[in-house]
Structure 1
Amino acid sequence: MEIKIYPTYEALSAKVAEWVLMLMSAYDKPLLCPASGDTPAGLYKVLSERYLQQKGGMDGWSFVGLDEWVGLNASDEGSCRHFIDKTLFHPLEVTGERICFFDGRSANLPKECRDAEQFISLQNGIDVAILGLGMNGHIAMNEPGCAVDGRAQIVALHPVTKLVGQKYFTQQLELEEGITLGMGTLLESKHIILMVSGKHKSRIVRKMLEEPATNELPGSLLLCHPSVTIFLDEDAASGLSNKDLHGYNRN
């Protein structure tokens, strides 16, 4: 595990982009699993700018979706797929067979889960997973108490996730379930990037890093991965104790 702390969100986003490009360049046809949400938006902006500068440099990349709200898909503003389309897929001109993403409107959600796992298997696993940390410590929609070895699945949403999730929509929605890659699937990724920003995440960051790992805080399960890098801005790191900051890579 490596922890890197940056003074601003902009610096954080730029450095994570460099890290993603470095990791992905090690593979001929790499598979990236990108998170949706506010935190990686700056990262995707930097990646889009790099794509324009070096046209075609990411053409060999494939993508697997991390999660989606049940009942929503790419056609719904506020859905995970809509966000990734807008911030990553469209700027990088990614289409067709290079993408596997959950359709939360599907009449056969178990098949969506099977298809995602099969896509990952055919690509020889996820090469780089970009993850965020929820206010309750969730990873993707793996909520507190999740199975450590879980695969792609339909899950009941935690009350905190239901509440925080409303910010992505212009009107109130009944968010009850999600469809997500499981912790077992994510922990099989070759490389994991956990990106966290903002003072509102400082408490859960401290808890994740300074208390024993437990499935009640899914983010802590990542700490045992052989190639996980945690990227924080100063605000997200502000709750860490001085003794635990010793040795962290501050940039």
Structure 2
Amino acid sequence: MKISIYPTPDDMSKAAADLVAAQLAEKPTSLIVFPSGSSPTGMLQYLVQYAKEGKADFSQCTIIGLDEWVGMDERDYGSCKHYLHTNFFNLLDFDPERVAMFDAKAEDLEAECARMNSFISSHGGLDVMIVGIGMNAHLGLNEPGTPFDLYAHVSELAPITVEVGQKYFQQATVLTQGITLGLQHLTEAKMAVLIASGENKAGIIAESLQGHISTDVPASILQNMSHARILLDAGAAAKLEHAS
């Protein structure tokens, strides 16, 4: 893995957007996974700006949503779909045929996981998979204890994920399960990108990137991935040893 540290969250966000723009310039038909949450907002703002300025062309690529709260769709404020539509797709009049996201209201969630797995494999695999990191080191909704070799799956949400997840909603919301791409997808992506900012992430970043590799710390899988790019601001990198 390659760790890059930037002075501010804005610098980190721009660097992440630059990676995506460079990927699109090299391969316009790229298959790219976008996360939701607070971490990618700045990146998405830059990408919308780049698209409007002609610096990034999204007309041929396909965007995949990383995960979703089970039981929600784009009409639910706080859902991952709502986030990506509000912060990206709607701002660019993005072709809906080039968007692939979980139907978290599907009657058969296992079939939905199989559908997403098949979609990715039939398109030649992921070119770029971008993830944030949770306070318990989850990537997507791959919670502690998740096997590293899982593809898309339904997860039981950890208490900390339920607690922190409330910030995305306008009122207290019951969260029990998630549906998510798996850590095996991250391993197989041609480029895996972790973005993180803020001193509140410093402890879990250090544990994940320089601690023991274990399924108890899902993000520790990145230590095994030579193709992983880690983009941090100074706050998130504050507890790393020998980081530059």
Q: TM-score by structure 1 length?
A: 0.94
2:82 equivalent in structure 1: 82
Deviation at 1:28, TM superposition (A): 3.8
Q: Which residue of 1 aligns with 2:145?
A: 145
Please tell me whether residue 34 in structure 1 is matched to residue 34 in structure 2.
yes
Distance 1:213 1:164 in 2: 24
Aligned twin of 1:231: 231
- CA distance in 2 between partners of 1:219 and 1:115 (Å): 25
Corresponding residue for 2:135?
A: 135
**2:122 aligned residue:** 122
Partner of residue 17, structure 1: 17
Letter in 1 for 2:105: R
The alpha-carbon deviation at position 16 of structure 1 amounts to 1.2
The equivalent residue for 2:180 is: 180
Cα distance in 2 between the residues matched to 1:23 and 1:56 = 9
State the distance in 1 between where 2:9 and 2:151 align.
32
Distance 1:79 1:31 in 2: 22
Q: Is the 8 A contact 2:209 2:219 kept in 1?
A: no
- Say whether residues 1:163 and 2:170 are aligned partners: no
The one-character-per-residue Cα deviations of 1:86-121 (angstroms, maximum 9, x if unpaired) are: 111122322322111012122121221111111101
Q: Which amino acid aligns with 1:234?
A: A
State the aligned residue count: 244
Q: Does the CA contact (< 8 Å) of 1:71 and 1:104 recur in 2?
A: yes
The amino acid across from 1:54 in the alignment is G
Deviation at residue 56 of structure 1 after TM alignment: 7.4
Q: Specify the SS of the correspondent of 1:3.
A: strand
Q: Which runs of 5+ in 1 are unaligned?
A: none
- Aligned in 2, Cα 1:173/1:157: closer, same or farther, shift over 3 Å? same
CA distance in 2, matches of 1:226, 1:21: 21
Residue in 2 that maps onto 1:47? 47
| Corresponding position of 2:108 | 108
Contact 2:21–2:56 (Cα < 8 Å) also in 1: no
Verify the 8 A CA contact 2:24 2:57 in the aligned structure 1: no
What's the TM-score once normalised by structure 2's chain length?
A: 0.96
Percent identical residues? 36
Q: Give structure 2 stretches of 5+ with no counterpart.
A: none
Single out whichever of 26-35 and 175-184 deviates more from structure 2.
26-35
Please tell me whether the aligned partners of residues 64 and 116 of structure 1 are also in contact (alpha carbons under 8 angstroms): no
Matches of 2:207 and 2:240, distance apart in 1: 9
**C-alpha contact (below 8 Å) 1:135/1:201 kept by paired residues:** yes
